[in-house]
Amino acid sequence: MPSPTVEDLLRELHATLTLRKRPEDVARLIQDLYEAQGADPDEATGAALAKAAEHSLRNLWHGYTSMREDFAAPVGAQRQLARAATLFTDLPDLPDLPDGAGDDPDRIEAVIRRAGESMGRAYGQNDFGTDRLDRAERTAAGLGEVSKRQYNKRFRLLTRMEAKLARLIHEQRRREVTMTGKGALARVLPYELFAADPDTAAFIAYITARGHMRSIFTNGPQRQAYDEVAEALFQRLRARPGRTCWSAVAHVHPTPEVLAEVSDEDLTHLLVRWNGFLRQVADLLEDAWNRHPLERESMIVRRGDDSSTWNQAAQAWNTARAHWFAILAELGQERILDRVCPGKVPRLMAADVAYWHRMSGGGLHPDTYVWAELPLPWEVLRGEEECPRSLVEAVCARHGRDPVAGGWTAPRPVAEAVAFRRTPELVHGVAVGDPLMASALRSVGVFSGKGKRAAAREWT
């Protein structure tokens, strides 16, 4: 089998930007990239990559991880489209349905609209009691040969398809929000920009893999993305600034050093993109809030809270907000924050984790008290509530928080590199030493909060 080329490896690294590959496996791909180029990295980079790649699946005896290596995608409408093709056999101009059409909202909507037109039904007419045609109306619409039973089947199917389409769009948006919260704008980085410089590609792929790591069940801070391997790769970019594609790096690592190398035009494009994303995430937060308002003063999960959606959206909001603040600062537009300075959004905390905090001498994170006093983010973005920088500073002062160091009124402080630690196998956030054991524990519902009795019987 021929060795992969530089382009093969660059494309494989680019594909990891939308996956959840372990950082160790991405480090191994970067080693392959340097080997394919025929140039050894500097000593520090080589040592850092070797330290990480030692634990890659290719170098482990079992070569297996129990965790998904991609972001779970929502179930498409393939089954509903297949049923539509069966029920509407008399409709020859039904839109084509190539492979993957069940995941494409535009194609699904086109099928619903065209099929609805054939039976005198407008898009959105889903009330089974009032929106169906009676016999005379069906005859007038040219449906005299279609039985009432067959007509009702078609009507119900299109109603279900519209509901399915709404769920699919919502879940696809949630997936994009999750990916952006973890990996910033890596998911939209074009291959041409990513692959313009191999060293740039190596850094982006590795730091994104670190960002995509799952949260661990702990009463302390989560693991930082920027570690000693990322630092070694970034040092290579510093050493060759003329070849580095800084605008690509700015998609995932918006430090002042990086943004200073990016043109104002590119920074403005990024600012506009982040501004639009903030509004998208604000809508998702508002939707979760309206369905079940949260306990703002504690941010502890209560029955009925959609904690998954909220926490994914909260992380995405904070990521987007941090990038937005950093770009505003580089463009010299920080005065905007004097008028509009939306606050950070905390994640919901499980009651058992909150109890763990209290038992270990801790308590609520001080940022929770600041969040509870500030206007809700979506109200600020719509202009319904005022949240200038002065208000945020005053609330922070009341609760003993530094608004600058805490990232409330300024970009996040630049993180220092942390030591590399291998990726743990997680079962619902709990670290397990062996991937095979992790698979067994997950299969019987251990740590999930569900099926505990069945799990206990099987393991006793």
Give 65-75 pLDDT, tens digit per residue: 889 899 999 99
* pLDDT value of position 157: 95
- State which amino acid sits at residue 244: T
* pLDDT value of position 365: 86
> C-alpha 259: how far from its chain's center?
23
Q: What three-state secondary structure class fits 426?
A: strand
Question: pLDDT below 70 — which residues of the chain?
Answer: 1, 92-93, 95-98, 449-460
* pLDDT value of position 145: 85
* pLDDT value of position 453: 44
* pLDDT value of position 446: 82
**Whole-angstrom distance, CA of residue 431 vs CA of residue 222:** 13
- Residue 428: which region, alpha, beta or left (left: phi > 0; alpha: psi -120 to 50)? left
* pLDDT value of position 456: 36
Question: What's the pTM value of the predicted model, to 2 decimals?
Answer: 0.90
**Whole-angstrom distance, CA of residue 273 vs CA of residue 285:** 18
Q: Name the token pair of 38.
A: 């025929």
- Virtual torsion, Cα 145, 148, 150, 155, nearest 10 deg: 120
* pLDDT value of position 1: 65
* pLDDT value of position 460: 30
The pLDDT tens digits for 172-207 are 999 999 999 999 999 999 999 999 999 999 999 999
* pLDDT value of position 231: 98
Compute the C-alpha angle 198/203/206, nearest 5°: 120
Residue 332 burial (CB < 10 Å; 0-12/13-18/19+)? exposed
Q: Name the token pair of 243.
A: 């070849």
- State which amino acid sits at residue 40: D
* pLDDT value of position 211: 96
